[in-house]
Chains A and B, each alone.
Chain A
Amino acid sequence: MSSHEPTPKTRKPGERVFCLLLVIGSVYLFWQAYQIAGFSELSSAGAFPMATAATMILAACFIFVNTLKRPANQNAHFFTHCFPPIVAIIMALILVYAVVLESLGFILSSFVFLFTTIQFLYRRRVLTTLAISLFALIMVYIVFRLIFQVVLPEGIIPERDIIASITALWR
């Protein structure tokens, strides 16, 4: 965890914007908390959320002001040091994976995701990647679906029919 690093003297690119967003977000959440029950009773559903949101606003303002005081780090750039393309690409891949998971089903979408990301990050022969992704997928499927009976999204592959026909071979 990065929590114990000494407070840096300079501010990182994007830090100001992030802290400002926190302030705005906190104010918005306070407004939402107020909407629950207003300032009615100390035992109302909105009392505790309002107290926490107010704490968030105070802390966020304090952090924001402190950030403003520090000079910017001239050598760092947001898109090289804070949010490099590789992070953005992987985030996008995960997003696509999560979107298609339900419609395509677990097996197909996970296989494509694993294959693409391992190929992209590990950069070995296609056959190696294929073997690794298949092996990992089979292990995950066995542990989650078969042993712990988590019914993963089935999507377009008729899993249950396949399992039924495989088990029928034994009967």
Chain B
Amino acid sequence: MKKTTIALLAAISFSSTASLAAYPDKDIQGVIMWGAGGSTDTVMRSVAPYAEEALGTDLILSNKSGGVGAISMKYVNKKKADGYTLLMGAENPQMHKVLGLSNIDYSDMVPVAILARGVPMMVARNDAPYNTMQEFIDYVKAHPGEVKIGSTGKGGLPSIIMAMIDSQVKLDYINIPYKGDGPALTALQGNAIDVMPAVLGATKEQIKAGRMKAIGLIDNQANPMLPNVAPITDTLPGLNSYLPWGPFFGVFVRKGTPDQVVNTLTRAFSSAGEREEFTSMMSNRGYSVMNIAGQEAVDFLDTYRSVSSWLVYKAGVGKFSPEKFGIQKP
């Protein structure tokens, strides 16, 4: 009995080392954090074919939404650390610890590649009586409790942007939460809300068509995609320490995945991320291509986590202090 067990174990370990040598020798499963049709889904489905080419194997993509991303995190971290299960996610898990949603975030995983980042900004309905951040702030101050600002619930991108602004100037407004930025931006066009913090990717076409207007860029420098919109630091210089900041899309594997495998994956995804078709598609959609990996990616993830966690915590939304998880102040 003992002999067979040992033989079996040997066989298993042999087969796993054998497969390591030839990684990848079978299909790789890519778990997408959000549902079909979402921005994460589109980005991942458009980078995957190039990564497949570079890897020489099939990437089988499946959507596993739920728990603001926590379900897919949990799923991938339960699989073997062999590089055959990838997590294709967005920024959300970085705040899970502070919000008390989950005890794992990206610091507990290995980044394969951070592909791109969204450009956060503020849009207002077309006939709103303000055109810049300063005018907006003055208007809200003059009309307390009248301006309706859309959001996507606690911990969502709009809530962090509003927490940023709130850290500099106190505003009294009505917060109307929507299920996502899509429905909220539709409501903005129907005048159900007045202002919405969003990413450029979701608003670009509507701004171009003159159906809504950009009143501010949540960045510390102007963006070539929106040359006429001033960065928010012009109005609120105190935000300099938080910026640049923005939601991102990345590919991750479980901690403990052999370096050799991570390197193979990183090479494949960076070559995919450099493809002209991909970069032009992304900038066309209003995303900044980043394509970073290794220590650079880890640093970026840490900065994002520290800014968002502290802002959310200070705004009174977070359940736990970022200090509890050793998250540095920005």
Contacts and interface: CB of A to CB of B under 8 A. Distances in A.
Say if the two chains contact directly (CB < 8 Å): yes
A149 B26 contact: no
A42 interface: no
Contacts of B60: 149, 151
Interface of A: 149-151, 160-161, 163-164
Contact of B29 (A151, A161, A164): A151
Contacts of B62: 149-151
A164 B26 CA distance: 5
Given A160-B26, A164-B25, 14 more contacts: A149-B60, A149-B61, A149-B62, A150-B62, A151-B29, A151-B60, A151-B62, A160-B27, A160-B84, A161-B26, A163-B26, A163-B27, A164-B26, A164-B27
Interface string B41-62: 0000000000000000000111
Interface string B2-32: 0000000000000000000000011101000
- 8 smallest CB-CB distances across A and B, nearest first, come from A164-B26, A160-B26, A149-B60, A160-B27, A151-B62, A151-B29, A161-B26, A151-B60
Contacts of A151: 29, 60, 62
Contacts of A161: 26
Nearest to A150: B62
A141 to B, nearest CB: 14
Chain B interface bracket (under 10, 10 to 19, 20 to 34, 35 or more): under 10
Main secondary structure on A side of the interface with B: helix
A163 B25 CA distance: 11
Interface in B33-88: 60-62, 84
Nearest to B25: A164
Of the listed residues B27, B60, B62, B84, the one surrounded by the most CB atoms of chain A closer than 10 A to its CB is: B27
B138 to A, nearest CB: 28
A149 B62 CA distance: 8
A163 B60 CA distance: 13
Contacts of B84: 160
Contacts of A160: 26-27, 84
A17 B326 CA distance: 54
Nearest to B19: A161
Contacts of A150: 62
